[in-house]
Amino acid sequence: MPADFKKLVGSPAEWLVNGQQSGEIVLSSRVRLARNLEGRKFTHSSKSDNLKEIRDLLKEAVLDTDPLEKGLPIDMDEISESERMVLAERRLISQEMVMHYRNRSLIAAEDEKLGVMINEEDHLRLYAIGAGLQLEEVGRVLDSLDNQLSVRLNFAFSPRFGYLTACPTNVGTGMRVSSLLHLPGLVHNNDIRKVVDGMRHVRLSVRGTYGEGSEVIGNFFQISNSITLGLSESETIRNMEGQIGKVVEFEKRSRDKLLKEARTLLKDKVSRSLGILRSARLIDSKEAMKLLSDVRMGVGMGLISEVNMNVLNELLITIQPMHLQMFNEEVLDPEQRDIARADHLRSVLE
């Protein structure tokens, strides 16, 4: 296990420590920029030697910036598949980089709030992440990194279309803005479909925790922009802030309705879920996520007071399969992971 990998995953990510007022509903805010080098073929069209040359060039440029001067560089072809999956579970790299790893690298801040994927779908994928709903602040951090890299590198850019990207849907600003939301109230009241349809009507995408292609588990939804052409970066972020704010209000109303109409039943449900998490000897990841969702809702609604929200946020990451395998320092089959997950939940929640 490389030293930089061990240092990066050895403690909880700071974006999980959520002190924001909206923090129980909006877990995190994330902004990502796609950039490519002028005159170079896109990643999937490049030969191995060219990718290595691009990686070496970009690693040097990224580590020369102020925001990532002390960044931790991790080459994907120097770590195992399970270690790459740990990084994906922490939302530091994509599933794309888990599978296609040769001549790919990650450079990340130790607190995991800022990072760069090199030679993913695009030559550079810059991202910044923060706790709660703070897209504008996260965007400013990423803009600083982007500006410093623009001085050091020549990016592929068209005066007509903007930044040129491997996927046409990213052409323009190359920006994807997303928030991870916990919406059990809307799900329980059967209002989530109307909200999802409303988001899509204003050209926003609604996906699972890990973005495109991922399943919605435990009432966690990732909402992101679909348009990168025709809007400025600041307009995209302001629009997303406004739309996410509306969803937060819808969720609050749903929870108020639940408290008014079924407080006792709701308290019984969340208390039972906490009891199962504290006593189970075998539990799979889907059931654990569902029960943690219930407990998070109970804490957020003031029905449970003995559990810390930041602890629950951290558990959403550490109960994932490859994290459990990393903690146990051995390969685990599915049943062994379910036992290890139950052990981990009991030790934390008791």
Q: Is the pLDDT of residue 319 over 90?
A: yes
pLDDT in tens, 243-276: 999 999 999 999 999 999 999 999 999 999 999 9
Over residues 81-96, mean pLDDT: 94
Query: Using 50, 70 and 90 to split pLDDT, how confident is the model at 2?
Result: confident
Q: What pLDDT score does 249 carry?
A: 95
Same domain, 203 and 182: yes
- Please indicate, yes or no, if residue 256 is contained in any of the structural domains: no
Q: What pLDDT score does 227 carry?
A: 81
Give the residue from 42, 255, 253, 239 showing the smallest Cα distance to 156.
Answer: 42
Same domain, 140 and 10: yes
Query: Using 50, 70 and 90 to split pLDDT, how confident is the model at 231?
Result: confident
Same domain, 270 and 308: yes
Same domain, 138 and 212: yes
Residues spanned by the domain of 86 = 3-251
Same domain, 218 and 305: no
Q: Is the pLDDT of residue 88 over 60?
A: yes
Ramachandran angles phi, psi of 306, nearest 5°: -90, 5
Q: What pLDDT score does 7 carry?
A: 86
Half-sphere exposure of 88 toward its Cβ, with a 13 Å CA cutoff?
22
- Please indicate, yes or no, if residue 210 is contained in any of the structural domains: yes
Q: Which DSSP state fits 155? A: B
Can you give the CATH number for the domain in which 84 is found? Answer: 3.30.590.10
Over residues 44-66, mean pLDDT: 95
Q: 137-151 as b/e, with b when 16 or more CB fall inside 10 Å?
A: ebbebbbebbebbee
Check residues 196 and 218 and name the one with the higher pLDDT. 196
Q: What pLDDT score does 24 carry?
A: 83
Same domain, 201 and 283: no
Query: Using 50, 70 and 90 to split pLDDT, how confident is the model at 158?
Result: very high
| Cβ–Cβ < 8 Å for 167, 174 | no
Over residues 106-110, mean pLDDT: 96
Over residues 213-226, mean pLDDT: 80
Same domain, 34 and 87: yes
Same domain, 238 and 269: no
Please state, rounded to an integer, the average pLDDT across all residues of the chain.
92
Q: What pLDDT score does 350 carry?
A: 83
Same domain, 236 and 275: no
pTM given for the model: 0.91
Q: How many structural domains does the chain have? A: 2
Same domain, 167 and 210: yes
Check residues 301 and 211 and name the one with the higher pLDDT. 301
- Please indicate, yes or no, if residue 52 is contained in any of the structural domains: yes
The residue out of 251, 269, 284 marking a domain boundary is 251
pLDDT in tens, 10-44: 888 888 776 554 568 999 999 999 999 999 999 99
The residue out of 251, 270, 290 marking a domain boundary is 251
Q: What percent of the chain has pLDDT over 90?
A: 79
Strands 72-75 and 204-207: unpaired
- Please indicate, yes or no, if residue 181 is contained in any of the structural domains: yes
3-state secondary structure of 68: coil
**Cβ-based neighbour number of residue 40 at 10 Å:** 17
The residue out of 203, 228, 251 marking a domain boundary is 251
Per the listing, tokens 């007071």 go with 305
Q: Is the pLDDT of residue 203 over 90?
A: no
Same domain, 304 and 240: no
Q: Which two tokens stand for residue 261?
A: 């109409």
Same domain, 247 and 266: no
3-state secondary structure of 93: coil
